[in-house]
Chains A and B, each alone.
Chain A
């Protein structure tokens, strides 16, 4: 089966670098991951070379899956997750995107709560400089039977230059009537007064920015097996940007 090259008319590719997508087309089939009932799954995705990652993840009854993403490299980097949760399952996503120049970085998720009592949490932080574009499109779908769903989306982007772009679209599609679906979204700039305060104590402008950005992305990689190396890689990329 051939799938047509997406266009900007496709919602999931609206902000993508279509030329880069075309160069990579046709994409291999998404990696399929099935977490059996009661199982646990963890994966770290370090996207540092401009690649497209597509994962389909089915999380069985009472099972858990945790994905940590550091999306930093290449002209175009995309991490696309299609997650289905069964009864009482848990899904966690912690993603950081750091881009500068003319990079386009994306995290696209569809999280389907198919059965009751499942929980999902998505934390996404983007730091964007220059002419970079960072996008998070995240849809949480709750099926009619999936009562007691508890889902959280926390999406924040920090623009270091006025020429950078952040797109954020947390989206809910809920058919059940007894659910908790929280979503928060903020796009901002570093607090000028905070930066001045740090500088007035002797910290250079670049270090001051780095310190505040480090705080901005702190905690996203919590619980990852390679938390330290992820944090280190993120800090080094932040150091390149400021």
Chain B
């Protein structure tokens, strides 16, 4: 019997020939922590009194920076102090970085065949480039700082194949939300998702990142897209070190295989309060108070272009505020250069520098009781973005932009005609 990508990668990184169900200790290529999960990792690591494996460690403040209050300032300072004390090169200060997952990709840490862990659940994003990447806790990160290895249960794999051409305003977000709607928020629990097909091959890397990013919302350990020429092209001149792509065998054993016809996928919205509560955007119609464009899920230049194409020459509807947050400094620079920031500002949107911001209810876009937000982010749990009586609706950037203009949740074609 052949092997899945997950089985091959964990075999390679553990030096044993393993299959789903086995537990291995595997060599980790990179470990990333942020300003919220880092501080606990630093304390645990210092208690081990060993040298830091500094070349494997990446420190990215993004959740509550620029510091939102004194407590978050303490956490950010703790990360900065740790970086200086241990001479960590890969520390990205405010002003040079942005949202951790987009930065991990832009900076060339994520690459095919790599095993990457991060103390943030959306670490699974790098599967878009053919990496095996997964979220871990702070204590686990601390032990990787010291030993460079971590234990993994080799996951069973589910295969999702999407073929055919996508309709207008349909993005990677709609593909992954449709899948989560089908299998549920625990539909891929403990498992690896492998997503392929000619639709996926034709997608931009940005849309693929959105898909891999939200694998965790179905409970997946990782969500891997077989790497191709587009990944190689993106990594040229950017990637750090060598990389070796890993592909599944033709006779690999999947515990579940699903086929999708791209033509049947429409712009969708995940309604409160779970990402699997999916409905076509055209059927939602809810009046909104806020529209949020940003995050590791949909804060890239391609997302901004999709939103700006709809907002150009239009206005955010009276009574609605729109908040636009680029994922990284590079995204912001490019958005300024392409005139996208001006389009958003002319439409009446508030544009900020990169941060996780309101995605997790941190700051800069918190919702009041009863308020509703259409958001390009990844979670719509109770109270995720503010008061427990507020509501978050997840959608692609085009739906977010169109809804900001319409004042209620709509399919973009209603605005663009």
Is chain B found bound to chain A in the same assembly?
Answer: no
